[in-house]
Structure 1
């Protein structure tokens, strides 16, 4: 994400429970992916979980971006 988006998220997180929840979810998925990506060897199940986390992370990021875009249109 771009710095302006991160700044807007930080600003909006205090005012919008939706933004706060989406951002916290995004960070959680990021940590889970980092943990799995550090492994030298991943089982097929771990690979499947990684794919699923990436999908969820992308869907959440898309929702978050829509909220940010709406906010920018209002300004």
Structure 2
């Protein structure tokens, strides 16, 4: 995300509840992924969950971009 997008998000999360939800989810997914990425080895179940979270994070980022495009 570009610097101007980060600033726009900061301004809009206070008024746009949908955007706030996606941003909050994005942060949570990132925290979970960091936890998985710090492990030296993942079980097959953990690997599946990590991939699922990556897909959810990417879908959320796409939604954030879609919302931001309305305000640009």
Normalising by structure 2, we get a TM-score of 0.97
Count of matched residue positions in the alignment of Structure 1 and Structure 2: 72
- Cα distance in 2 for partners of 1:2, 1:47 equals 30
Task: List gaps (5 residues or longer) in structure 1.
Answer: none
Task: List gaps (5 residues or longer) in structure 2.
Answer: none
Deviation at 1:62, TM superposition (A): 0.2
Matching residue of 2:29: 29
RMSD after superposition: 0.5
Following TM superposition, the consecutive aligned residue runs of length 4 or more in structure 1 with deviations greater than 3 angstroms are none
- Cα distance in 2 for partners of 1:19, 1:9 equals 8
